[in-house]
Structure 1
Amino acid sequence: MRGTDREARLAAALVAAADTLTASFEATEHLRRVADHCVELLGARAAGFMLIERGGTVSLAGSTRPPGLALDLLRAQTGGGPGPDAYGSGRPVPPVPLGLAHARGRWPLFTERALRHGVAATFAVPLRRRARLLGALNVFASAPPGGAAGGGGELRLAQALADAAAVGLENHRAYTRCRTLAGQLQEALSSRVRVEQAKGMLAERWGTPADHAFVALRRYARRHRLALDLVAQAVIDRALDDAELRYEPGDTA
Structure 2
Amino acid sequence: MPHESRELRLAATLVEFTDTLTGDFDPALHSRRLADACVEFVGARGAGVTLLEPDGRPGPVVHGAGQPPPVRELLERERESGPVRDSLVSGTEVLAAPLASREAAARWPEFTTAARRSGIGAVYAVPLRRHATLAGAVSVHTARPAAAGEDLAIVRSLSAATTVGLLNQRAHARHRTLSGQLREALASRVRIEQAKGMLAERWRVSPDDAFETLRGYARGHRLPLDQVARAVVHRALTDAQLRPGGPGTG
TM-score of the two chains, using structure 1 as the length reference? 0.84
* Correspondences of 1:39-54 after superposition (within 5 Å): 39-52=39-52
Taking the aligned partners of 1:103 and 1:193, their CA distance within structure 2 comes to 65
How much is the aligned-residue C-alpha RMSD, in angstroms? Answer: 2.7
Residues 1:3 and 2:3 are matched in the alignment: yes
Matched, 1:197 2:198: no
Q: Which moved more, 1:92-101 or 1:15-24?
A: 92-101
**SS, match of residue 136 in structure 1:** strand
- What is the TM-score when the length of structure 2 is the normalising length? 0.85
Mean CA deviation greater in 18-27 or 43-52:
18-27
- Contact conserved, 2:95 with 2:125, CA < 8 A, in 1? yes
Determine the structure 2 residue equivalent to 1:142: 143
- Count of residues in correspondence between the two structures: 246
Deviation at 1:56, TM superposition (A): 4.1
C-alpha distance in 1 between matches for 2:19 and 2:183: 26
Q: How does 1:172-251 map to 2 (within 5 A)?
A: 172-246=169-243
Q: Which residue of 1 aligns with 2:81?
A: 80
Deviating more after overlay: 168-177 vs 38-47:
168-177
The 3 A distance-change label for structure 1 pair 118 and 226 is same
Deviations 1:58-117 (A, max 9, x none): 332221122555542222125521112333444333364333459844412222322333
Residues 62 and 186 of structure 1: CA distance in aligned 2, closer, same or farther (over 3 Å): same
Range with greater deviation from structure 2 (98-107 or 203-212): 98-107
Structure 1 position 10, deviation (Å) = 1.2
The 5 A counterparts of 1:150-161 are 150-161=147-158
* Aligned 8 A contact 2:128 2:162 in 1: yes
- 1:185 Cα deviation (Å)? 0.5
Distance 1:39 1:78, change over 3 A: closer
Residues 105 and 112 of structure 2 are in contact (CA less than 8 Å); yes or no, is this contact kept in structure 1? no
The offset of 1:19, in angstroms, is 2.1
The gaps in structure 2 that reach 5 residues or longer are none
Alpha carbons of 1:69 and 1:189: their partners in 2 closer, same or farther (altered >3 Å)? farther
CA separation of 1:210 and 1:18: change in aligned 2, threshold 3 A: same
How many Å apart are 1:140 and its aligned residue? 1.1
